[in-house]
Amino acid sequence: MTASAPGGRDQGARAAGGAPDPRRWRALWVTLVAGFMSLLDVSIVAVALPTVQRELHASAAQVQWVVSGYALAFALALVTAGRLGDALDRRRIFLLALSCFVLFSAACGAAPTITLLVAARLAQGLAAGFMAPQNSALIQQMFRGAERGRAFGFFGATVGISSAVGPLTGGTILALADGAQGWRWIFYVNVPIGVLAVLLGRRLLPRTPRSGRGHVDLPGVLLLGLGVLALMYPLVLAEAGGLGRLWWLFLVGIALLVVFTRWQHRLVARGTQPLLDPRLFTTVRGYAVGAGVGTLYFIGFSGIWLVFAFFYQSGLGFSPFRSGLAVTPFALGSACAAVVSGRLVDRLGRVLTVGGLTAVIIGLGGAALLLRFAPLDIAPWLAAPALFLGGVGSGCVVSPNITMTLRDVPVRMAGAAGGALQTGQRLGAAVGTAALPGLFYLVLDGSDDYRGALVAAMGAGLVGMAASLALATYDWRRDRRTGEPHPKCPDDVAHSPVHARQT
């Protein structure tokens, strides 16, 4: 038995006779719909929090866990879920996780108390975390060559749009589901869509080839899970003073991740399959840089939407629906560009990300300045073209970066690699979601200078994006200077220790 090649030469991508699986594009849409639901649920609930707090008689700290608890559980599951998909069966893990996501979505909608709602959200986030890495892994498994770039283009559009349209979607559902209990439909809407996705997934999704199976590194699961928990816990409690009281957990988290890294190196040296092969970061072309670019970008990208929601709703008195509508140009630009950029990434490479990040910084920076200095009655209208430009840039960042980060990953390691990539993005999103709204309210601090607070928070977000741009530019210039591709992961050659144990 031979190992799968980096380009995806994997029996899961082929139907009988070696031909491409004719169901692969329909299967892709099943995974994208499920992925869109899971990522949308990170931000869609934010607009309903005031109603939830009032109707369930919850404190501010309790209601914050409705959002932060989901994000925390989501991030904790990603790498372990990806490795389980590689080792067992991605189709089985995906369908089980999607079924649980539907079940816990219904439980969230029916929750009679804030305690039960938070518990259901934690379970829902865990299910979403188990489902998410299977999406990118199934793309690796089902597609190859230029088709893989197109598939990742759709996947990148899903990631980018789900974050941008969350406030608009939540506001629309609240507007349609009138009444005190209307917030429950934010969760109930997942049920019919999820049930349909499960039924279609059972028919269309391929099974993981047996060559991808192996054991699961349980000590690694524990070390990584505790490390991510220690890093994220102070962030999810930021509004309740978590950063000040629990800062020491950052040191604990870093120490645990160092021990985790050493343990993974030790397993590789012994010829045992690790939870997350460290050679992904050292020898797979583009993986380490792509993970860094994605993490830094999400630090600036994720918190901006909460800042916009606070500015439009609290500062300008917009309804949740109108507030979401105001940032829709960004989502439209992102959707259009992500699909196109997925087809261009093989030809343009990292320069596409560099150009996209530049456009995001110019677009969002311009929107912030217009909202700061233009007359308030027309400022949102003037900011719309700048937001559209930022969205176009974002579509040229998320989708191509995912493609360049994962395209050379061996298919049998695709789940763990995708989980690690998304864990970095979730950590970045947690930092941005805690820092940017916190800075917004720090500048506001009893005054009515919502415009100044917006510019300060947006400026901080742009710093994260500028750091991402610097890393992407370095990678682009290095490739131009050397003109040589990075070496492939040695885990793919026949004499590698891991391969030797699998043959």
In this structure, the number of other CB atoms found within 10 A of the CB of residue 79 comes to: 28
What domain count does the chain have? 1
For residues 473 and 424, what is the distance between their CA atoms, to the nearest angstrom?
Answer: 20
- pLDDT bin (cut points 50, 70, 90) of residue 336 is confident
Query: What dihedral angle (degrees, nearest 10) is formed by the CA atoms of 125, 161, 398, 353?
Result: -160
Instruction: pLDDT band for 163, please (50, 70, 90 cuts).
Output: low
210 by Cβ neighbours in 10 Å (0-12 / 13-18 / 19+) ranks as exposed
In this prediction, what percent of the chain has a pLDDT beyond 70? 87
Q: What is the CATH number of the domain that holds 87?
A: 1.20.1250.20
* Surface-to-core class of residue 383, CB atoms within 10 Å of its CB (0-12 exposed, 13-18 middle, 19+ buried): buried
Q: What percent of the chain has pLDDT over 90?
A: 21
Residue 203 has pLDDT above 50, yes or no: yes
How high is the pLDDT of residue 318?
Answer: 84
Provide the residue type at 326 as one letter.
Answer: A
Average of pLDDT values for 436-445?
Answer: 80
The whole-angstrom separation of Cα 129 and Cα 111 is 21
pLDDT of residue 362: 95
Per-residue confidence at 485, pLDDT binned at 50, 70, 90? very low
Q: CA–CA separation, 237 vs 146, rounded Å? A: 43
d(CA 277, CA 260) in angstroms, rounded, equals 11
For residue 6, being part of any structural domain is answered with: no
In-domain check, residue 336: yes
Q: What is the pLDDT of residues 118-152, one digit of tens each?
A: 999 999 999 998 998 888 788 878 887 777 777 87
- Quick one: tokens of 292? 């860094």
**In one letter, which amino acid is 503?**
T
The 10s digit of each residue's pLDDT in 340-389 is 887 787 778 788 999 999 999 999 999 999 999 998 889 889 999 999 99
Nearest to 74 by CA among 127, 115, 118: 127
How confident is the model at residue 72, as a pLDDT? 81
Say yes or no to pLDDT of 476 above 90: no
Which range marks the domain in which residue 52 is found?
Answer: 11-502
> Given this model, what pLDDT does residue 105 score?
94
Q: Is residue 1 a part of any domain in this protein? A: no
Backbone angles phi and psi of 264, in degrees to 5: -65, -40
Residue 470 has pLDDT above 50, yes or no: yes
Interatomic CA distance for residues 462 and 118, integer angstroms: 32
* CA 91, 96, 101, 106 torsion-angle sign: positive
Q: What whole-number distance in Å separates Cα of residue 202 and Cα of residue 298?
A: 33
The stretch 434-462 carries a mean pLDDT of: 84
Domain contains 460: yes
pLDDT at 160 over 60: yes
Grouping H, G, I as helix, E, B as strand and the rest as coil, residue 320 is helix
d(CA 116, CA 424): 29
- pLDDT over 60 at 403, yes or no: yes
Task: Look up tokens 């980096």; give the residue.
Answer: 6
What pTM did the predictor assign? 0.77
Residue 2 within any structural domain of the chain: no
**Is 180 among the domain residues?**
yes
At 317, the pLDDT band (50, 70, 90 cuts) reads confident
Whether residue 492 is predicted with pLDDT greater than 70 in this model: the reply is no
CA distance 82 to 36: 18
**Is residue 490 in some structural domain?**
yes
Q: Is residue 5 part of a domain?
A: no
- Mean pLDDT score across all residues of the chain: 80
Mean pLDDT on 306-313:
83
In this prediction, residue 164 carries a pLDDT of 65
